[in-house]
Amino acid sequence: MSKRLLLVGAGHAHLEVIRRLKSEAWVNVEVCLISSSRYQYYSGMFSGFTEGLYSLEDTRVSLEKITREARIHFIEKTVVSLRPKQKKVICHDGSVYPFDVVSFDIGSQSLPKAFEHTVARTIKPNYEFISQIEEIRNTTHPLIVGGGAAGTELALSIQTYKEKNQIPGQVKLVTAEKVMNGFPKIVSTRLKSLLIKKGVQVWEDESVEEIHDHYIVTNSGNKIRHTSVLWLGGASAEPIFKRSGVEVDEKGFALVRDTLQFQEYDYIFGSGDCITLTAYPELQKSGVYAVKQGPVLWNNLSQFLSGQPLQEYDPQKNALYILSTGKQQGFMVYGPLSHHSRQAWKLKNKIDRDFMAKYK
Ligand SMILES: Cc1cc2nc3c(=O)[nH]c(=O)nc-3n(C[C@H](O)[C@H](O)[C@H](O)COP(=O)(O)OP(=O)(O)OC[C@H]3O[C@@H](n4cnc5c(N)ncnc54)[C@H](O)[C@@H]3O)c2cc1C
């Protein structure tokens, strides 16, 4: 009898599973992708799009096209609930999809609940990015909350866009820790200097407590005026897992074993930002890990469906990050090493274009 595998979300690891299905289809397995948008947007191209270097089509993969090529079903819906014991997922419109095996790669959210009803914008889920950034980059004093890779990169690319298009004003960046906290001190110091040199106003060690229509208030009482607020203050979990009663970490991310299977359910898999690996709870929520989980997920789904032993995912010790800093310059970080140059941007551009070509 045929089994049904549901892939929920078209994140990085699921793109790899779909790519492999084009040439290595499983026998007697019906595969469906359920994802909220008909496109998957790639965050590696977001800074280049913001600055005006990439077109809309450069940044996204058509899910209708790739699922057709892989001969799998595509359902454009948002999953809002998981019934793990009954083996069902429920979508926003009330439709119910039963499964034999399910895999989640739905990314993360970014706006904390406390700020949901304020003017703060978020670019998560990632299909929100284009419309949000097109508005934000044209305002005079956009304020970015969060000094991680995403906040730093977008602050620099919005500032560059403003300069290129002679839009007056200045980007502001407020971060609760240091810029690029968690990276070596030299990286943090160099990127902060670069932000300031390019014209971005930076507030470090200040967390945002209130967001009002035209200003924010930080924990030290600073009032900072803005024309729009973009929240990039770190990943928060989709509420689906907590609500469904599966084991989650203290932030609500689903806990998975090294095999990418949920803690207490062999037939539920997870990858990317939406999960926390029990053995590596401190691993950053970042695309580089989601990409590397793709081949392991493909192998483990294949093995599980045929009753074979699964492989363990072992995250790499150091990950390569290249941040676009504007005007085709890149800041490359690998472990303790860092380097700012045009070559670094060229390498980033090649990696990102190759990634998109592989999945389109
Ligand atoms: C500006 C920016 C720059 C970044 N730069 C880097 C970088 O340089 N290096 C790096 O490693 N990381 C970077 N990141 C982080 C990176 O984007 C994320 O870690 C990565 O996208 C997570 O991938 P994912 O596979 O978990 O899911 P995502 O890529 O977020 O995809 C999730 C998918 O699930 C779908 N979905 C969501 N919810 C549901 C639902 N309930 N039901 C059905 N479908 C759903 C979405 O539509 C989407 O298709 C950056 C992020 C940003 C915003």
Residue 284's nearest CA partner among 250, 261, 309, 318 is 318
Helices (H), the chain: 12-23, 46-51, 63-69, 129-136, 149-164, 185-197, 240-244, 287-305, 342-359
Percent of the chain with pLDDT over 70: 100
Please check the confidence at residue 116 and state whether its pLDDT lies above 90: no
Assigned fold of 113-234 = FAD/NAD(P)-binding domain (3.50.50)
Q: In what order do the strands lie in the sheet with 73-76?
A: 73-76, 29-35, 3-8, 101-104, 268-270
Q: Please indicate whether residue 32 or residue 335 has the higher confidence score (pLDDT).
A: 32
Q: Do domains 3-108+235-305 and 113-234 have the same CATH topology?
A: yes
Work out which ligand 1 atom sits closest to the CA atom of 124. Answer: 30
For residue 125, name the pLDDT band (cuts at 50, 70, 90): confident
Beta-ladder partners of 3: 29
345/331 Cα distance (integer angstroms): 7
Domain map (residue ranges) of the chain: 3-108+235-305, 113-234
124/16 Cα distance (integer angstroms): 21
Q: What is the mean pLDDT of residues 341-346?
A: 98
Q: How far apart are the first and last CA of the chain?
A: 32
pLDDT at 206: 97
pLDDT at 88: 98
Please check the confidence at residue 236 and state whether its pLDDT lies above 90: no
CA of 168 to the centre of ligand 1 (A): 31
3-state secondary structure of 164: helix
353/15 Cα distance (integer angstroms): 15
DSSP string, 318-360: S-EEEEEEETTEEEEEETTEEEEEHHHHHHHHHHHHHHHHHH-
Per-residue pLDDT tens over the stretch 147-167: 999 999 999 999 999 999 999
Please check the confidence at residue 1 and state whether its pLDDT lies above 80: no
Q: How many CB atoms lie within 10 A of CB 68?
A: 12
Neighbour-count burial for 161-188, b at 16+ CB within 10 Å, e otherwise:
bbeeeeeeeebbbbbbebbbeebeeebb
Percent of the chain with pLDDT over 90: 91
Residue-averaged pLDDT of the chain:
95
Per-residue pLDDT tens over the stretch 266-298: 999 999 999 999 999 999 898 999 999 999 999
The H-or-E segment that residue 144 falls in is strand 142-145
Q: What is the mean pLDDT of residues 101-130?
A: 90
154/44 Cα distance (integer angstroms): 11
Q: Which amino acid is at 163?
A: E
Contact 63, 49 (CB under 8 A): no
Work out which ligand 1 atom sits closest to the CA atom of 47. Answer: 1
268/261 Cα distance (integer angstroms): 6
CA of 27 to the centre of ligand 1 (A): 30
360/357 Cα distance (integer angstroms): 5
CA of 222 to the centre of ligand 1 (A): 32
Q: Which two tokens stand for residue 34?
A: 């359920």
Atom 37 of ligand 1, nearest CA residue: 106
Considering the four listed CATH numbers 3.50.50.60, 1.10.510.10, 3.30.70.100, 1.50.10.10, the one that applies to the domain covering 3-108+235-305 is 3.50.50.60
Please check the confidence at residue 67 and state whether its pLDDT lies above 90: yes
| Ligand 1 pocket mutation, candidates 273, 324, 332, criterion most atoms within 8 A of CB | 273
Give the binding-site residues of ligand 1, using a 6 Å CB cut-off.
Answer: 8-13, 34-37, 40, 43, 46, 78-79, 105-107, 123, 125-127, 149-150, 153-154, 238, 272-274, 285-288, 290, 321
Which residues 6+ apart lie within 8 Å of 350 measured at CB? none
Please check the confidence at residue 74 and state whether its pLDDT lies above 80: yes
Q: What is the mean pLDDT of residues 216-223?
A: 96
Residue 326's nearest CA partner among 178, 176, 200 is 200
